[in-house]
Amino acid sequence: MSSRKTSLPNRDSEDKYSILLPTYNEKENLPLIVWLLVKYLDEGGFSYEIIVIDDGSPDGTLQVAEQLQKIFGEDKILLRPRAKKLGLGTAYIHGMRHATGNFIIIMDADLSHHPKFIPEFIQKQKEGDYDLVSGTRYHGNGGVYGWDLRRKLISRGANFLSQVLLRPGASDLTGSFRLYKRSVLECLVERCVSKGYVFQMEMIVRARQLNYSVGEVPISFVDRVYGESKLGGNEIVSFGKGLITLFAST
């Protein structure tokens, strides 16, 4: 067995990881993602909390989260719901205000991001004392699985345009699986003006401007099993506008 699971927590026992899980209509996915998070974080011996930020899901996601809190305990599962859908960026800001960890992990709740990569994120951060570690689908053995050609073209095209225009020094700008030092995330959030999907891209661009160090871990991104994708025409238009704005202002 690898010694990585026990060596990291013993060496940095004061570290605590706050995992932010924004949700909207994720009642089928939430139990499994929470179970996987608990499994891998407990196996690693990490100190952590999982903060569920539900944006008024009409499908009963919050009620499922309440049951999970009873199963795993209020110390591990924190519920910080909002009355309505207000955007991904503001969901992270809301969750961060309630986080107690000195490191914050952001990820999707739809099983696109597998919690098995989190110990790798943590090890990568320790190795280089990185200010943030980002999961990448476009470097090393990273990849995307389950998308049709249209989704792949949109993602690849968006990332290519972002690389050409913004030169961010990171291979995957549009991903949303990252680990931040809490102080770094707070600083970046103060400077970011975007909401929704552009928020992730702007965070990396601002990090480059402020000379924060960025580490990368190749990840396998898997399309959601349950529920519908939140990516639609409006999000694509918003992304284009956000990219142009960032290019003009950075």
Give residue 244's pLDDT: 63
Give residue 6's pLDDT: 38
What is the rounded distance in angstroms from the CA atom of residue 20 to the CA atom of residue 209? 25
Give residue 36's pLDDT: 97
Give residue 208's pLDDT: 86
Strand order in the sheet with 47-54: 77-79, 47-54, 16-23, 103-106, 178-181, 132-136, 214-218
Give residue 226's pLDDT: 54
Where along the chain do its domains lie?
Answer: 14-249
User: Is the separation of the CB atoms in 158 and 174 below 8 Å?
Assistant: yes
Residue range 14-249 in CATH 3.40.50.720: no
Give residue 240's pLDDT: 63
What is the rounded distance in angstroms from the CA atom of residue 99 to the CA atom of residue 84? 21
What is the rounded distance in angstroms from the CA atom of residue 31 to the CA atom of residue 61? 10
Give residue 35's pLDDT: 97
**What are the mean pLDDT values of the chain's consecutive 10-residue runs (250 residues total)?**
41 82 94 97 97 95 97 96 85 92 95 95 97 89 72 68 63 86 93 74 86 94 62 57 60
Give residue 100's pLDDT: 96
Give residue 20's pLDDT: 97
Single pTM value for the model: 0.80
